[in-house]
């Protein structure tokens, strides 16, 4: 049996730029920065006071009486999945469809909201026990499990965790499940909600958080900005989608996954380069076929300089012709959720022929000498887009999408 073509028939996201795809994309293409001083969390003695908070409360349509079973990172995934499934028009009450559908959601962290509240209850409030739902709420597979239960998805369902590459790894897993005939549909993406005091305090210790703005690829960049966020897409066997008359948003055409096997926190050129090359080979693309790369682009000194070398090594002279941007400059780094939001950005870039900008870009850096679409979006036809995720631990995941034919 030949491998199936894989269509994207739905997408959803929640980010610091908006609570759905339309709000997020509108802000992105207009260069709006969602990284601001914290308003919703207790900062205590945090030295870094900025991040990407979700603008409005997210309930994902869950009734109040069930809310005690959900941590914030799960609700973000639930809402993004709700949007994506609604757009796809799929109905999992069909038993055959439910059994042939999966859900794979990446998360770089666990449910830290319930963990931190438990510490507070025990060590500050003097409570003898913590919330009865602390374990199921905090497990990193909770988003996939809850989406499965709320929508009736009964095929392959599991969580993926690989730090900042978690969303892309989940997307890759779903892609292969559909392509190889293990499922007809896969609801995939990533989520994280790291804007918790304890998590922020830990990241402060790494000294990689930006003090006042995230400036990827700019010479005066000083670090990344953490954010809450999630992005989910519906992958579907293209023939299955056509047979039911679904609108195909995009075609997913290739993936690449590698490991640096080097340092826990310092990136290499080799691992990401091999992931991008593997993605191009699997998609049967030449470097010249790629119009846009949504870069990992965190805003740290090491990451951005290394990613520039990666892009030059993989694309050669075409690196100077491609459009590149880091949308993390606007929605922040949602860790395991970033790849999902960034895939949505790639799909919208293909649809509208608009490259979202890298905002807060102040001055060129000789080590980052590519066109990173500084500050203002630009019009460009995009047939093929690639999204990079390179994570702590040296895990790399790259995905490629193409305009629907």
Q: Model-level pTM?
A: 0.97
Contact 216, 297 (CB under 8 A): yes
Kindly list the structural domains of the chain, giving each domain's residue range(s) and its CATH number in brackets, ordered by start.
6-243 (3.40.47.10), 254-402 (3.40.47.10)
Name residue 398's beta-bridge partners: 256, 388
What's the pLDDT at 276?
Answer: 98
Distance CA 234, CA 153 (A): 12
Give pLDDT tens digits for 308-325: 999 999 999 999 999 999
Contact 44, 197 (CB under 8 A): yes
What's the pLDDT at 42?
Answer: 84
Whole-number average pLDDT of the chain: 97
Q: Is the pLDDT of residue 1 over 80?
A: no
Positions marked catalytic: 164, 296, 333
Distance CA 164, CA 162 (A): 6
Give pLDDT tens digits for 61-78: 999 999 999 999 999 999
Residue percentage of the chain with pLDDT more than 90: 96
Give the residue from 253, 182, 181 showing the smallest Cα distance to 6: 253
What's the pLDDT at 14?
Answer: 98
Give pLDDT tens digits for 174-213: 999 999 999 999 999 999 999 999 999 999 999 999 999 9
What's the pLDDT at 202?
Answer: 96
Give the residue from 71, 341, 397, 73 showing the smallest Cα distance to 189: 341
Give the β-pairing of 36-37 and 50-51. antiparallel
**Other C-beta atoms within 10 Å of 5: how many?**
18
Name residue 211's beta-bridge partners: none
Helices and strands: H and E segment counts in the chain:
13, 14
DSSP state of 318: G
Q: Is the pLDDT of residue 283 over 60?
A: yes
Give pLDDT tens digits for 101-160: 999 999 999 999 999 999 989 998 999 999 999 999 999 999 999 999 999 999 999 999
The predicted model gives 30-48 an average pLDDT of 94
What's the pLDDT at 43?
Answer: 87
The predicted model gives 397-403 an average pLDDT of 98
């Amino acid at each position: 049996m030949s491998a199936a073509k894989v269509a994207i028939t739905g997408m959803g996201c929640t980010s610091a730029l908006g609570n759905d795809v339309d709000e997020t994309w509108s802000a992105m293409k207009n260069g709006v920065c969602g990284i601001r001083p914290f308003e919703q969390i207790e900062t205590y003695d945090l030295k870094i006071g900025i991040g990407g908070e979700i603008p409005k409360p997210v309930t994902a349509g869950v009734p109040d009486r069930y809310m005690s079973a959900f941590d914030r990172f799960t609700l973000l995934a639930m809402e993004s999945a709700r949007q994506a499934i609604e757009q796809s028009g799929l109905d999992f009450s069909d038993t055959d469809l439910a059994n042939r559908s999966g859900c794979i959601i990446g998360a770089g962290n666990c449910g830290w909201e319930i963990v931190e509240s438990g510490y507070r209850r025990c060590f500050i409030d003097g409570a003898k026990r913590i919330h009865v739902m602390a374990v199921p709420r905090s497990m990193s597979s909770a988003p996939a499990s809850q989406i499965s239960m709320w929508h009736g998805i009964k095929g392959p369902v599991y969580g993926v965790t690989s730090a900042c590459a978690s969303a892309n790894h989940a997307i890759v897993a779903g892609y292969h499940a559909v392509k190889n005939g293990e499922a007809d549909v896969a609801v995939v993406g990533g989520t994280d909600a790291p804007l918790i005091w304890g998590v922020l305090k830990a990241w402060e210790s790494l000294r990689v958080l930006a003090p006042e703005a995230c400036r990827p690829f700019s010479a005066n960049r000083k670090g990344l900005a953490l954010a809450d966020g999630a992005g989910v897409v519906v992958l579907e066997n293209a023939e299955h989608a056509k047979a039911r008359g679904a609108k195909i948003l995009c075609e997913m055409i290739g993936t690449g996954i590698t490991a640096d096997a080097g340092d826990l926190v310092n990136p290499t050129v080799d691992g990401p380069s091999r992931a991008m090359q593997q993605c191009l080979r699997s998609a049967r693309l030449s470097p010249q076929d790629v119009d846009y790369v949504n870069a990992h682009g965190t805003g740290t000194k090491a990451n951005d300089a290394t990613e520039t070398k990666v892009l030059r090594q993989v694309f050669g002279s075409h690196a100077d012709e491609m459009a590149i941007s880091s949308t993390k400059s606007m929605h922040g780094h949602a860790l395991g959720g970033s790849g999902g939001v960034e895939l949505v950005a790639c799909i919208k870039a293909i649809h509208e022929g608009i490259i979202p900008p890298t905002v807060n870009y102040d001055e060129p850096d000789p080590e980052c000498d590519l066109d990173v679409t500084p500050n203002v979006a630009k019009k460009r036809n995009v047939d093929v887009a690639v999204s990079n995720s390179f994570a702590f631990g040296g895990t790399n995941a790259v995905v490629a999408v193409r305009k629907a034919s």
